[in-house]
Structure 1
Amino acid sequence: MDIQQLMAVDAVAVGPYDLTAGIDFLLAAGSKGFPWLSANIVDRNRAPLFAPSLTITRSGIDIGILGLTGSNAPLPQGTHLADWREILPRQLQDLKRSSAMVIILSSLSSSENLEMIRLYPEIDILITADRSQGNIPPTITGGTLMTQTQSQGRYLGQLIINWQPGYPWGHDLSQDQARLQQQLGIIERRLLRVERRKNTSTNIDPEYIRRLEREKEEITKQLDGIVAQQEKMKTGESPLNRYTHSFIGLSSNLQNEPRVTDKINRVKASIAASHLRRQTGESPVCK
């Protein structure tokens, strides 16, 4: 949590694994400014224990962010996980009044996430936390863009959007264009090699040539379609909210941030000391 605050993280939804150290631990961090969110962890009176949502402003856009906690969360007596279907309608209503964009941070199951965005198309972005699926490239379902980054900090997920209220999502076509141009270049090089071999070899498969030519024609047609769509987007005939994304693999050879390194070293030293006390039978209370 200290490291994430150094990174100026705006919001973190409480997930089942976050509760391993107990809910009081997270509540104490929240009281000191850590941005835990959960709209569906509630007390006996159905009052949320954490802030359900918050609103930030980026590039002149008010963005509402809401957290939903998935099942199997280890909660103490007197608290429980409310059904998101009962919680979400009112929360979304409040967020839409104060925000132009709505983002949900969810550790619900995949089926529940899909049900949610079918029921509430006003959700603009859904960032999920399914440990079994790893990195999930953005997909558009209805009016919602859904994605996630692999757990345990192995990757940094980057989502860059060009967005304005009221328009539907559309993938940034420049990525598709680059991919198709790369495929076209490969096919053209293969055709060139075949053409050169014609003069020196009779063992040329005509069906192979025809297949390459069909692939070239199909890719060229797709590229023409992308160019036409890009022109429409420029003139406003086909306005879309566009995005690009990348998953950046993190490794130990990246440049360190001194403050982060210091905190990691302190945690490691604390773990080592605790392990030593257990081995020697020394009570940490007497230390």
Structure 2
Amino acid sequence: MLVVDSGDLLFEKKEGVDPQRARLKAEILARAYKKMGADAINVGDLDLTHGIDFLEKQAREGLPLVSANLADSSSGKLLFPPYRVKQMGSLRIALIGLMGPEMSPQAQKGAGEKLTVLDPWVAARKILEELRGKADVVVVLSDMGMARDQRLAKEVEGIQFILGGHDGRFVSSAEQQGGSWLLQSYSKGMYVGSLRLRLEEPGRPIWDEGRASRLEQELAKLEGRIDAHRKAQQRGPNPSVERSLKQLEEQRIRLKQELEEARNKRDKGNRFSWRLEPLDPSLPEDQEVTRWIQEAGIQAD
């Protein structure tokens, strides 16, 4: 199992927060992720709230920060490793970090003039070239937002998964753009995204196991709409209802074709499943982390 984060982990975009309290919380979060054995954490723009020195200290103490496009303004040198390659059985999985091209005012204030954000699309192409032959699966940890993730998937080939953040959207299913799958797991630690991957033929397309189930649900809803239109049609001729019914029946034909294709691929070849697991208060707390919070004197928000 790999544990990753897409960024904006350490600090919140929130007005009137006590800086000392925010820093204490960030330090505890960093310790907790190290305790979990996190494999890669992308640097999001909000993570720069307390400056680069804070992040560099966390990295020296073992926090696995990655960023392929956060650089020193003077030298142009990257401040953190651009990626990490993790071995999972026979698979090599590359975890790349990318930040959006613009920092929020909060991040800009923390970063000062020392940092520059390189073009993420250019950075991604460069890293993918560097990774050629070194990874079977490429995962981008993105703090760019959904629209930019979609653009990245369309413009940069060779990425299998983009685990996105920044927007804080609730997106329960995977979205496909070209050869890439876009995933998000909401914000504020309310859910953890669980990506399960089965790769039988590295280099071949990867299919979403959950697509067939979603299409079945969509088809059932469509059948209900078709049934309602037919009943309306029985009450008397209505050109508008007839046109709508024809469109729905054409849509049903397309859906059935997609469903047949999805069922045929569900248990074959390269495939993945994606779930959002809720982190509700009933889950047991880690006693050591709880003790750290108590010792720091941090009260619940």
TM-score (norm 2): 0.69
Q: d(CA) in 1 for partners of 2:202 and 2:39?
A: 21
Give how far 1:99 is off: 0.8
Give how far 1:121 is off: 1.9
Cα deviation code 1:87-137 (max 9, x no counterpart): 222211112231111111111143332222112121111111132523352
**Identity over aligned residues, as a percent?**
23
Q: Does 1:248 align with 2:277?
A: yes
Cα deviation code 1:233-262 (max 9, x no counterpart): 76x7xx5x3222221221112122222322
User: Among residues 122, 126, 129, which one is paired with 2:165 in the alignment?
Assistant: 129
TM-aligned CA distance change 1:58 to 1:207, over 3 Å:
farther
Partner of 1:165: 202
Is contact 2:150–2:182 with CA below 8 Å preserved after alignment?
A: no
Partner of 2:36: 7
Give how far 1:180 is off: 6.8
Aligned-residue CA RMSD (Å): 3.5
Q: Comparing 134-143 with 51-60, which one deviates more in the overlay?
A: 134-143
Is contact 1:180–1:223 with CA below 8 Å preserved after alignment?
A: no
TM-aligned CA distance change 1:224 to 1:80, over 3 Å:
closer
Partner of 2:213: 175
Give how far 1:41 is off: 1.1
Q: d(CA) in 1 for partners of 2:122 and 2:215?
A: 43
User: Among residues 26, 34, 58, which one is paired with 1:29 in the alignment?
Assistant: 58
Q: Comparing 77-86 with 130-139, which one deviates more in the overlay?
A: 130-139
User: Among residues 85, 100, 104, which one is paired with 2:140 in the alignment?
Assistant: 104
Partner of 2:179: 143
- The unaligned stretches of length 5 or more in structure 1 are 191-203, 209-213, 273-287
Give how far 1:219 is off: 7.7
User: Among residues 73, 78, 85, which one is paired with 2:121 in the alignment?
Assistant: 85
Q: d(CA) in 1 for partners of 2:261 and 2:69?
A: 46
Q: d(CA) in 2 for partners of 1:158 and 1:48?
A: 30
Q: d(CA) in 1 for partners of 2:179 and 2:50?
A: 37
Is contact 1:56–1:62 with CA below 8 Å preserved after alignment?
A: yes
Q: d(CA) in 1 for partners of 2:33 and 2:275?
A: 20
TM-aligned CA distance change 1:220 to 1:94, over 3 Å:
closer
Query: Structure 2 matches for 1:238-277, cutoff 5 A?
Result: 239=269, 241-267=270-296, 269-270=297-298
Give how far 1:12 is off: 0.7
Structure possessing the higher radius of gyration over alpha carbons: 1
Cα deviation code 1:42-84 (max 9, x no counterpart): 1111100111111001132001111012221422323211122
Cα deviation code 1:183-221 (max 9, x no counterpart): 79x97xx9xxxxxxxxxxxxx99949xxxxx99xx9899
Is contact 1:40–1:82 with CA below 8 Å preserved after alignment?
A: yes
User: Among residues 142, 149, 157, which one is paired with 1:113 in the alignment?
Assistant: 149
Q: Does 1:52 align with 2:78?
A: no
Q: d(CA) in 2 for partners of 1:82 and 1:232?
A: 39
Q: d(CA) in 2 for partners of 1:107 and 1:264?
A: 27
Partner of 1:76: 112
TM-aligned CA distance change 1:260 to 1:135, over 3 Å:
farther
* One-letter code aligned to 1:120: V
Is contact 1:149–1:157 with CA below 8 Å preserved after alignment?
A: yes
Q: d(CA) in 2 for partners of 1:14 and 1:106?
A: 9
